[in-house]
């Protein structure tokens, strides 16, 4: 339950940051396209997989 709360708070923080950056006309601190986003997601996924394998030992 606590993990869901953290995910929701992270999402809300991202939404608020996106709104503020857009209103102030700052460049978004996020990948500009889906390819860059998927690259970042791939880095996270690779790290997640390794941690899961380490937990199995």
User: Rounded to whole angstroms, how far apart are CA atoms 42 and 36?
Assistant: 10
Mean pLDDT of 7-12: 88
User: For 23-43, what is each residue's pLDDT tens digit?
Assistant: 999 988 777 788 888 888 889
Instruction: Say what the pTM is.
Output: 0.59
Smallest CA-to-CA distance from 46 within 27, 24, 54 is with 54
Q: List the chain domain ranges.
A: 2-56
DSSP-derived secondary structure for 3-19: HHHHHHHHHHHHHHHHH
Query: Looking at per-residue confidence, does 3 or 20 come out higher?
Result: 20
For residue 52, pLDDT beyond 90:
no
């Amino acid at each position: 339950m606590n993990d869901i709360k953290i995910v929701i708070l992270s999402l809300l923080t991202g939404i608020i940051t996106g709104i503020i950056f857009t209103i102030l006309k700052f460049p978004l601190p996020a990948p500009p396209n889906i390819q860059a986003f998927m690259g970042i997601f791939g880095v996270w996924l690779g790290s997640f997989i390794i941690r899961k394998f380490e937990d199995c030992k």
